Amino acid sequence: MKVLIIGADGQVGRELRETAPLGMEVTAVGHGTLDITNAPALRQMVLEFQPQILINAAAYTAVDKAEQEREIAFTVNAEGPAHLAVLAQENRIRFVHLSTDFIFDGQQSRPYRPEAPPNPLGVYGASKQAGEQRVREILGQEALIVRTAWVYSAFGHNFVKTMLRLMRERDTLNVVADQVGTPTWAKGLASALWKMVELRLTGTHHWTDAGVASWYDFAQAIQEEGLNRGLLLHPVALHPIPTTLYPTPAQRPAFSVLDKTDTWQALGYTADHWRVALCKMLQRVGRHG
């Protein structure tokens, strides 16, 4: 199977490269090589590599900056996937696209099922929802769209790495405690994506690690596990605060938990609990510095 991964230098792209199963002939291109908004360059790349599977891990993910950069966010997150979907349709390539919990408004108190109505709170979520829509308009149910949430990895910028840095620099930290979701290790997500490819899943699926946490719970766990592993030398005082005390340009969903029941059933396995996955990731950070 020839697979072309676009956005291959991001958190999920890197883990997709690392976890590619035997038998997958992977070509991975990052932002430096290929801009998803450049339709002729995408076409050239597809003609050159002739993949059977196209995975889009590229996205404009700067949630707060997107409030000021609406046009760029929509060009990358909606037009880019649309270009890829057209190429997939024309060349009979299977298309895998990633999306986000931020398409929901977080007003539910039960996990969001894939068919729940979207209602994004900010520009990033709206641009990702538009991307989903464009892909569905072009490929119908043939595309595989996988929504995930709260992604972290040993690669790139994310909450875990930011917390470890701040915990080394400061004595106290305030962390938002009234937004809940599920921290998700990109490596587990990447392995699940490969399994979905192998099983030829299509339609809209949800994947995160198992369980639920607030950002404050997540920070507590990072501190405890960081201290256990010698990644942190001293504890810092962590204070739970409401979102109102940490205003950001983009509003975030208060309840961001995705219902993964159908996906787990289709895959035949359940994700690790988020804390188990966090320990595995920290072991890796410990090994690689």
Ligand X SMILES: NC(=O)c1ccc[n+]([C@@H]2O[C@H](COP(=O)([O-])OP(=O)(O)OC[C@H]3O[C@@H](n4cnc5c(N)ncnc54)[C@H](OP(=O)(O)O)[C@@H]3O)[C@@H](O)[C@H]2O)c1
Query: Which residues would be at the binding site for ligand X (CB under 6 A)?
Result: 7, 9-13, 30-31, 35-37, 57-61, 76, 98, 100-101, 128, 148-151, 156
Of 124, 152, 216, 246, the active-site residue reads 124
Shortest distance in whole angstroms from residue 233 CB to ligand X: 28
| 124 part of the active site | yes
Shortest distance in whole angstroms from residue 37 CB to ligand X: 5
SS3 at position 170: coil
Work out the angle at residue 50's Cα, subtended by the Cα atoms of residues 95 and 133, and round it to the nearest 5 degrees: 20
Q: Helices 274-288 and 186-198, interaxial angle, to 10°?
A: 110
The CA-atom distances, in angstroms, between 276 and each of 37, 269, 279 are 37, 15, 5
Q: Which is nearer to ligand X, 11 or 263 (CB)?
A: 11
3-state secondary structure string across 225-242: HHHHCCCCCCCCEEEEEC
Shortest distance in whole angstroms from residue 211 CB to ligand X: 16
- Distance, in Å, from the CA atom of 257 to the CA atom of 111, rounded to the nearest integer, reads 5
Q: Which is nearer to ligand X, 98 or 192 (CB)?
A: 98
Shortest distance in whole angstroms from residue 59 CB to ligand X: 3
Whether 17 and 57 have beta carbons less than 8 Å apart is answered as no
Nearest by Cα to 205 from 281, 264, 252: 264
Q: Which is nearer to ligand X, 156 or 240 (CB)?
A: 156
Q: Which is nearer to ligand X, 34 or 238 (CB)?
A: 34
- Residue positions annotated with a catalytic role: 124
